[in-house]
C-alpha cells in the first residue's frame, strides 16, 4: 500500500476557499431560486400584469435566466480569484517556511551560525524567525563554550596525567624510587585531578539548579570573619594584608553556610592570587534599604581590563593562563561562585578601574529581616 501523499499548501488554501465560495453561492442560488421568483411575480401582478399572461411568463423567464448567468459568472470569477489568491499567499508562506526549513537543516548539520533573514510573511512567521535566530545564537554560544571547555579541560588534565605517567613508568623501571618527595608529587597531582572533577561537577549542578541548599540564618559578621580567618595564614605567607570591615548592625543572611563559605573562599583565593606582596584585600559588608545585603571583596592587585570583565565568570577563563596555572588555579572557581550565589537568589558581579588598579567582586543577597535593621547611618 503506497503511503498517502501530503497535499501542498496551495492546494489546501484553494480547497478551503472553493468550499467557502461554493457554500456562499449555494445559499445565493437557493434564495434566488425559491424566494426570488415568487417575490418578482407578486410585484408584476401589483404592477397590473394579468395572471398567466404571455408578457408575465417572458419577464419571469428573463429573470430566471439572468439569475443563472449572474451566478455562473460569479462562480467562475470567485474560483479564479480564489485560485490566484491561494497561489500568491501559499507561495509567499511556502518561501518563508522553506527558508526556515533550510536553516533548520543547516542547524541539524552543526552550522550554528545559520540565521534566517526578515521574511515579511506576517507577524506570526516573523515571530518564528526571530525565535529561531535567538535559539541559533544561544546554541552557537553553547557550542562555543562546550568546545572551549573540552579543550581547556583536556589541557588541565594533561599536566597532572603526564606527571603521574612519568613517575609510574619511572617506578616500574626502577629509575625513580618511592620516597617522601615522590609521594608528595603524586598526591598533589591526584589532588589536582580530583579537585578539577569536583569543581566541574559543582558548577554544572549549580547552573542546572540541582544543588540542595541547607539554608539557615547566618550572622554576616560571623560568616565573613570565618572565611577571612581560614585564609589568614596563606595571606600572611605571601605578605598580603587581609582586612575585614563589618559591623554588628549588618544583620543576617539566610544561606547555606558551607556553600557561601565556598563562594567567599573562592573569591579570597582569587584576590590573593592576583594581589602582589605588600597589597591589601578588604572584605566588607553593608545593608541596603532596598532589601539587599552587599558583600564586597576588593583588592589592590593587578586589576581587570574592560575587555576581560565580561569573561571573568566563564568556565576555565583566565586573564593570564600561564600565570594562573603556575599558581594552581583551575579557572573554574569564579564560575562556581557565580552559580552558587544565583542559586541563593543573589548576584555576583566584578568591576575594575583597569589593569594595575585592583578589582572588586560584589555579592548581593536578599536580607531575611530587613524590617528589623536600623536605618543606614549618614556619613559626616
Sequence spans of domains, the chain = 9-111, 124-207, 215-372
**Its pTM surpasses 0.85:** no
Can you tell me the distance from the alpha carbon of 153 to that of 124, in angstroms, rounded to the nearest whole number? Answer: 43
Cell of 357: 588598579
C-alpha cell at 139: 546554541
Length of the chain: 380
Q: How far is CA 371 from CA 218, 289, 343, in A?
A: 17, 9, 24
Q: What is the pLDDT of residue 350?
A: 92
pLDDT of residue 162: 86
345 contact partners, CB below 8 Å, separation of at least 6: 365, 366
Residue ranges, the chain, pLDDT below 70: 1-14, 25, 29, 31-60, 63, 94-95, 118-125, 145, 148-149, 152, 155, 203-204, 206-209, 315-331, 369-380
CATH architecture for residues 215-372: 2-Layer Sandwich (3.30)
What is the DSSP pairing of strand 252-256 with strand 280-288?
unpaired
pLDDT tens-digit map of 111-153? 777 777 766 666 666 777 778 778 888 777 777 767 766 776 7
CA distances from 334 to 202, 303, 337 (A): 12, 15, 5
Q: Count Cβ atoms below 10 Å from residue 271 Cβ, excluding itself.
A: 27
Q: Which of 271, 288, 281 is nearest to 346 (CA)?
A: 288
Rounded CA separation 189/181 (Å)? 12
pLDDT for residue 324: 46
Chain segment 164-215, per-residue pLDDT in tens: 888 898 888 888 888 888 888 888 888 878 877 777 777 667 666 677 788 8
Top-level CATH class of 124-207?
mainly alpha
C-alpha distances (whole Å) from 124 to each of 20, 93, 98, 129 are 24, 11, 15, 9
| pLDDT score, position 370 | 47
Q: How far is C-alpha 174 from the chain's CA centre?
A: 54
Residues 6+ apart with CB under 8 A from 133: 115, 116
Amino acid at each position: 500500500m503506497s503511503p498517502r501523499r501530503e497535499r501542498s499548501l496551495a492546494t489546501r488554501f484553494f480547497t478551503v476557499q472553493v468550499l467557502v465560495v461554493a457554500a456562499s453561492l449555494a445559499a445565493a442560488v437557493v434564495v434566488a431560486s425559491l424566494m426570488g421568483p415568487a417575490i418578482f411575480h407578486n410585484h408584476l401582478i401589483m404592477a397590473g400584469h394579468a395572471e398567466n399572461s404571455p408578457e408575465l411568463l417572458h419577464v419571469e423567464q428573463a429573470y430566471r435566466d439572468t439569475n443563472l448567468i449572474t451566478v455562473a459568472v460569479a462562480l467562475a470569477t470567485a474560483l479564479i480569484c480564489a485560485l490566484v489568491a491561494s497561489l500568491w499567499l501559499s507561495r509567499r508562506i511556502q518561501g518563508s517556511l522553506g527558508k526556515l526549513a533550510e536553516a533548520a537543516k543547516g542547524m541539524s548539520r552543526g552550522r550554528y551560525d545559520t540565521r534566517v533573514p526578515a521574511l515579511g510573511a506576517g507577524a506570526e512567521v516573523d515571530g518564528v524567525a526571530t525565535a529561531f535566530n535567538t535559539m541559533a545564537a544561544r546554541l552557537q554560544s553553547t557550542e562555543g563554550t562546550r568546545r572551549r571547555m573540552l579543550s581547556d579541560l583536556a589541557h588541565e588534565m594533561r599536566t597532572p596525567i603526564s606527571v603521574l605517567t612519568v613517575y609510574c613508568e619511572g617506578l616500574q623501571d626502577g629509575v625513580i624510587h618511592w620516597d617522601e618527595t615522590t609521594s608528595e608529587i603524586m598526591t598533589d597531582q591526584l589532588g589536582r585531578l580530583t579537585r578539577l572533577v569536583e569543581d566541574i561537577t559543582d558548577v554544572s549542578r549549580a547552573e542546572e539548579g540541582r544543588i540542595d541548599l541547607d539554608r539557615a540564618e547566618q550572622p554576616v559578621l560571623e560568616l565573613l570573619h570565618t572565611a577571612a580567618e581560614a585564609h589568614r595564614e596563606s595571606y600572611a605567607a605571601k605578605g598580603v594584608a587581609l582586612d575585614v570591615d563589618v559591623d554588628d548592625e549588618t544583620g543576617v543572611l539566610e544561606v547555606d553556610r558551607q556553600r557561601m563559605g565556598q563562594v567567599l573562599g573562592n573569591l579570597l583565593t582569587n584576590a590573593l592570587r592576583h594581589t602582589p606582596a605588600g597589597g591589601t584585600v578588604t572584605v566588607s559588608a553593608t545593608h541596603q534599604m532596598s532589601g539587599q545585603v552587599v558583600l564586597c571583596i576588593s583588592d589592590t592587585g593587578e586589576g581587570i581590563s574592560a575587555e576581560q570583565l565580561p569573561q571573568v565568570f566563564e568556565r576555565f577563563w583566565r586573564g593570564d593562563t600561564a600565570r594562573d596555572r603556575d599558581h594552581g588555579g583551575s579557572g573554574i572557581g569564579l564560575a562556581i561562585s557565580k552559580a552558587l550565589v544565583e542559586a541563593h537568589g543573589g548576584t555576583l558581579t566584578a568591576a575594575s578601574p583597569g589593569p594595575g588598579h585592583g578589582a572588586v567582586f560584589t555579592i548581593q543577597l536578599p536580607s531575611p529581616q530587613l524590617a528589623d535593621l536600623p536605618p543606614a547611618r549618614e556619613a559626616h
